[in-house]
């Protein structure tokens, strides 16, 4: 069995097994490792419970709990997982153990040290999120074909803004681009019609886990 540095520990909000509800991995049975803490306060946040609390676990304990679910797909999420320094070590350890790893990050913190084997799902914050000024634009230069960029859209001005960013940074040439309607703020059908009208080379993303289980924690 692989051993880990006993001094490496992280604050964990929850570890659970469910279907991946977002990204191009949607529908895959996955283990979710949700880290506690986030420096952002987006208007549509659905995981505010992860801002505080949780339990401190060693890297060894996290790896053992993850292995118990017997799935190759792991998603490290938050909160904002990169707010904890140990996240970089966790990601590397998961990759070394042979898992297919994705990281859900706000895009506000530097991703340059993230293991190249990790699929980064980078959320670009729109004007209506209330956190647009937190976008770390240099992160876009660290994207590759394994990665995905996500825009959570609250209204049509958000959509127009996202189109501009998409074109300005040529995001389609770097990775998959996801457009997602903010729950309760923008109708998915309306967003779908805009995408078709403008012939955008993006993927409409709905949150499968919410369609199946609502806003239930741990799903």
Q: 21 preceded by cis ω (within 30°)? A: no
Nearest alpha-carbon partner for 202 in 169, 166, 168: 166
Position 8 confidence tier, pLDDT thresholds 50, 70, 90? confident
For the record, the structure tokens of 184 come out as 């309760």
Beta strands in 83-191 (DSSP E): 100-105, 119-124, 148-153, 176-181
| Mean pLDDT taken over the chain | 94
Share of residues in the chain with pLDDT > 70 (%): 96
Cβ pair 188, 182 in contact under 8 A: no
- Find the mean pLDDT for residues 35-55: 95
- pTM, entire model: 0.93
| pLDDT at residue number 74 | 98
| pLDDT at residue number 5 | 63
Does residue 135 have a pLDDT over 50?
A: yes
- Find the mean pLDDT for residues 182-205: 96
Name beta bridge partners: 77: 34
Task: Sort 197 into a burial class: Cβ within 10 Å, 0-12 / 13-18 / 19+.
Answer: exposed
- Find the mean pLDDT for residues 56-67: 97
Q: Please, what's the b/e burial string for 178-196 (b: 16 or more CB within 10 A of its CB; e: otherwise)?
A: bbbbbeeebeeeebeebbe
Cβ pair 91, 64 in contact under 8 A: no
What does R_g of the chain's alpha carbons equal in angstroms? 17
Domains and CATH numbers, the chain: 9-213 (3.20.20.70)
């Amino acid at each position: 069995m692989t051993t880990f540095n006993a001094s490496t520990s992280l604050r964990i909000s929850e570890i659970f097994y469910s279907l991946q509800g977002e990204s191009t991995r949607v529908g895959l049975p996955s283990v979710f490792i949700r880290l506690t803490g986030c420096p952002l306060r987006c208007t549509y946040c659905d995981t505010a419970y992860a801002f505080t609390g949780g339990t401190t676990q060693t890297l060894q304990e996290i790896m053992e709990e993850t292995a118990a679910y017997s799935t190759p797909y792991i998603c490290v999420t938050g909160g904002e997982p990169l707010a904890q320094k140990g996240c970089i070590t966790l990601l590397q350890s998961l990759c070394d153990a042979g898992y297919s790893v994705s990281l859900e990050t706000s895009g506000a913190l530097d991703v340059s040290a993230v293991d190249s084997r990790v699929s980064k799902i980078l959320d670009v914050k729109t004007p209506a999120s209330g956190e647009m000024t937190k976008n770390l634009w240099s992160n876009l230069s660290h994207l590759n074909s394994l990665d995905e960029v996500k825009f959570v859209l609250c209204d049509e001005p958000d959509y127009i803004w996202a189109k501009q960013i998409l074109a300005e940074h040529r995001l389609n040439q770097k990775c998959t681009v996801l457009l997602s309607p903010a729950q309760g703020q923008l109708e998915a059908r309306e967003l779908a019609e805009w995408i078709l009208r403008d012939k955008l080379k993006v993927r409409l993303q709905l949150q499968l886990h919410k369609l199946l289980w609502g806003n239930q924690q741990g799903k």
